[in-house]
Structure 1
Amino acid sequence: MTFKPAFVVVDVQEDFCPPHGALAVSGGRDIVPTINELLSLPFALKIATKDFHPRDHISFACNHRAPNNKPFESQITIKNPLNDKETQQTRLWPVHCVQGTNGAELLPELDISRVDKIVEKGQDKRVEMYSAFADPFTNPTVSRSNLAKILHDAGVTDVYVAGLAADYCVKCTALDARTEGFTTWVVGEATRAVNPTDLPGVNREYEKAGVTVIDKDHEAIRKVKDYA
């Protein structure tokens, strides 16, 4: 297939950024100039994603009983609501990116004028959904966005990923992009992690899956600059 690149900007939202974000990632705002620089490139398709939760979402610690309801600390097991034999272990979080709140808004300094589509995720209160493609359940999948369809329908071959957070939503989105059959690139300097010490493990997952971490001067970015 002829090279056709897309850029997916993951969850660059107020609640994931200092100074007031409920789940602020250190340095979260600092990546915006790099993302805007990438948005200025001639990608065939530019997409921004948003966590967009209902207030009773299962990932919010306040929606669980004590003592297993401490944000950032407590872990819970989520059962696939369509197949209780399939489970997922996940961390609980503070209330964040609730639909209709300022925390769910994309950062005002992000150049949205260059974004072609916005994809919302995490709307099903029953499941966690880090990936912008789908929740992690497979037998069957419970909640799926229209991101894969958008990319496939556009004939995209390569997906470039940046945003927040490197060790959660960026990671899961990149891995799912690869599973969907796209050549996948993560622009490392345009991400930040909740737990930076976890990044070596993330990179091992990428290597195993065939996802490549690059910087903005990589030849894969130069190829986008030459795209017409």
Structure 2
Amino acid sequence: MNRALLIIDLQPDFCEGGALAVAGGNAVAAAIAKDVALRVASYSAIITTQDWHIEPGDHFSDQPDFVDSWPVHCVAGTNGAALHPLIAQLNVDAHFAKGRFTAAYSGFEARLLDTQADIADESGVLLAPWLRSRQIDTVDIVGLAADHCVRATALDAVAGGFTATVISTLTAAVNGENLPTVHEELRSAGVSVVSAS
């Protein structure tokens, strides 16, 4: 069994002080950095995903409904779209970007981001083939937000044949009241939901 850690959307715009802040985002970044330091040897790869919006259509709105439309956030190449500083310091094997020209929630919609030159490139390899090319069949999923992009990534992971675990204590939600329902949905789909060990 080869296991990867997927760090989902740990970006300044999703943390306190950002354009679309999730309460507890900075604490999650710190907890993930600490956890990686302890468990790095248990992973075949550590991967980040980032919202990387250029022209995502009606995903951005001046009057967002916070379900299908959102305030402007994580514009490609801006500080808000960068990795959180604590995550940027980690020894990461690959960075994947999603949502350049459309809404994108799942990390499995993301394409490999090699350099800043790839800012508008839609030809990079998708996450699932990248994992399979390295014989990775199991993923641990952490990051932001538990009730949106973490959820979507976990559901796509199991739908794509990966064994998936969400480490709930290394996530934070837009709406914490939704978490019991989200966790039940994930478990029903075959995702394991656990606390950090």
Scaled to the shorter chain, the TM-score interval is 0.7 to 0.9
Q: SS at the partner of 1:98?
A: coil
- Per the TM alignment, residue 204 of structure 1 is displaced from its structure 2 partner at its CA by 1.6
Aligned to 2:59: 59
Matched residues in 2 for 1:130 and 1:144: separation? 17
- Per the TM alignment, residue 134 of structure 1 is displaced from its structure 2 partner at its CA by 2.4
1:200 to 168, 180, 189: 180
Matched residues in 2 for 1:11 and 1:176: separation? 16
- The residue identity in structure 2 corresponding to 1:180 is G
Q: Give yes or no for contact 1:161–1:170 (8 Å, CA) kept in 2.
A: yes
2:26 to 22, 25, 29: 29
Q: Give yes or no for contact 1:55–1:95 (8 Å, CA) kept in 2.
A: no
Q: SS at the partner of 2:161?
A: coil
- Per the TM alignment, residue 208 of structure 1 is displaced from its structure 2 partner at its CA by 1.2
Q: Give yes or no for contact 2:73–2:81 (8 Å, CA) kept in 1.
A: yes
How many aligned residue pairs are there? 183
Matched residues in 2 for 1:216 and 1:29: separation? 17
- Per the TM alignment, residue 145 of structure 1 is displaced from its structure 2 partner at its CA by 5.9
Cα offsets for 1:92-125 (capped at 9, x unmatched)? 100000012111011112254311100000112x
- The residue identity in structure 2 corresponding to 1:38 is D
Please state if 1:185 is matched with 2:183. no
Aligned to 1:157: 137
Matched residues in 2 for 1:173 and 1:186: separation? 10
Q: Give yes or no for contact 2:55–2:100 (8 Å, CA) kept in 1.
A: no
Please state if 1:39 is matched with 2:36. yes
Cα offsets for 1:123-144 (capped at 9, x unmatched)? 12xx321001129xxxxxxx99
Cα offsets for 1:50-91 (capped at 9, x unmatched)? 0000145321013xxxxxxx22x36xxxxxxxxxxxxxxx52
Q: Percent identity?
A: 40
2:8 to 7, 10, 16: 10
Do the aligned partners of residues 145 and 199 (structure 1) sit closer, same or farther apart at CA in structure 2, a change above 3 Å counting? Answer: farther
- Per the TM alignment, residue 36 of structure 1 is displaced from its structure 2 partner at its CA by 1.1
Show structure 1 runs of 5+ residues with no match: 63-69, 75-89, 136-142, 218-228
Matched residues in 2 for 1:33 and 1:15: separation? 16
Alignment of 1:66-215 (within 5 A): 70-71=63-64, 73=65, 90-124=67-101, 127-134=102-109, 146-215=126-195
- The residue identity in structure 2 corresponding to 1:44 is S
Q: Give yes or no for contact 2:5–2:45 (8 Å, CA) kept in 1.
A: yes
Matched residues in 1 for 2:109 and 2:79: separation? 24
Higher Rg: 1
TM superposition outliers: structure 1 runs of 4+ over 3 Å: none
